[in-house]
Structure 1
Amino acid sequence: MPTTNKKKLGPLGAWIGMLLALFATCLASQAHAQTPSPLPEWQYSVGVPLRKLFSPDLPTWEVRVGAAMTVRPRYDGASDYYILGGPSIDVRYKDLAFASTGEGIGFNAIHTERVRAGLAITYDMGRREKKDHDHLAGMGNIGIVPESKIFAEYVVSKEFPLVIRANIRRQLGGSDGWVGDVGAYMPMPGSSEKFFWFLGPTMTFADSRYMQTWFGVNGQQAARSGYAEYHPSGGIKSYGGGVSAIWMFSKHWFATADFGVSALVGDARNSPIVQRSTNLTGDISVNYQF
Structure 2
Amino acid sequence: MPRGLAHFSIVLAGLSIAFLPTPAFAQDRQSNDRQSKEWDVTLGMGAAVRPTFEGSDQYIVSPAPFVNVIWRDTVSLGVDGLSAYWSTENFRIGGGPTFGTGRTQNSSIFSQGDSRLTGMGDIPAAFGLKVFADYRIGPSSLPVTVNASLTKFTANGNDGVLVNFGLRLPYKLTPTTTLRGFVSADWADQGYMQTYFGVTAIQSINSGYAQYSPGAGIKDVNFGLGLTEKLNEHWSLIVNGRIAELTGDAANSPIVFSRTQAIFTSAIAYHF
TM range (shorter): 0.7 to 0.9
Say which structure is richer in strand. Answer: 2
- Secondary structure (helix, strand or coil) at the match of 1:135 reads helix
Name structure 1 gaps, 5 residues minimum: 1-32
Alpha-carbon contact 2:64-2:267 (below 8 Å) kept: no
The aligned residue for residue 112 of structure 1 is: 88
Correspondences of 1:80-229 after superposition (within 5 Å): 80-100=58-78, 102-108=79-85, 110-131=86-107, 134-159=115-140, 160-173=142-155, 174-188=157-171, 191-229=173-211
Give secondary structure in 2 for the equivalent of 1:130: coil
Larger C-alpha radius of gyration, 1 or 2?
Answer: 1
Deviation at 1:68, TM superposition (A): 2.3
Residue identity in the other structure for 2:182: G
Alpha-carbon shift at residue 38 of structure 1 (Å)? 6.1
Q: Distance in 1 between matches of 2:228 and 2:63?
A: 19
Q: Which residue of 2 aligns with 1:60?
A: 38
Q: Structure 2: how far apart are the matches of 1:92 and 1:49?
A: 13
Distance in 2, Cα, partners of 1:40 & 1:204? 13
Deviation at 1:90, TM superposition (A): 1.4
State the alpha-carbon separation in 2 of the partners of residues 223 and 80 from structure 1.
24
* Number of aligned residue pairs: 253
Q: In 2, are the aligned partners of 1:49 and 1:115 still within 8 Å (CA)?
A: no
Cα deviation for residue 195 of structure 1 reads 0.6
What per-residue deviation string (whole Å, max 9, x for no partner) do you get for residues 28-57 of structure 1? xxxxx943356675512x45255126x474
Q: Which residue of structure 2 aligns with residue 43 of structure 1?
A: 23
Alignment identity in percent?
28
Query: How far 1:89 sits from its partner (Å)?
Result: 1.9
With the length of structure 2 as denominator, give the TM-score of the two structures. 0.86
Whether contact under 8 Å (1:253, 1:288) holds in the other structure is yes
Distance 1:96 1:134, change over 3 A: closer
Query: C-alpha displacement at 1:71, in angstroms?
Result: 1.4
Q: Is the 8 A contact 1:42 1:183 kept in 2?
A: no
Q: Structure 1's 133 and 71: CA in aligned 2 closer, same or farther, altered over 3 A?
A: closer
> RMSD across aligned C-alpha pairs, in angstroms?
2.0
Question: d(CA) in 2 for partners of 1:187 and 1:247?
Answer: 13
**Counterpart code for 1:36:** S
Task: Tell me whether 1:261 sits opposite 2:247 in the alignment.
Answer: no
Cα distance per residue 1:188-234 (max 9 Å; x no partner): 36x11111111121101100000001000011101111122100000
Distance 1:152 1:95 in 2: 15
Q: Is 1:40–1:242's contact at 8 Å kept on the other side of the alignment? A: no
32, 52, 56: which one pairs with 1:78?
56
TM-score w.r.t. length of structure 1: 0.81
Q: Mark the runs of 5 or more structure 2 residues left unpaired by the alignment.
A: 1-12, 108-112
Asked if the contact 2:162–2:189 (Cα under 8 Å) also holds between the matched residues in 1, the reply is yes
Secondary structure class of the residue paired with 1:285: strand
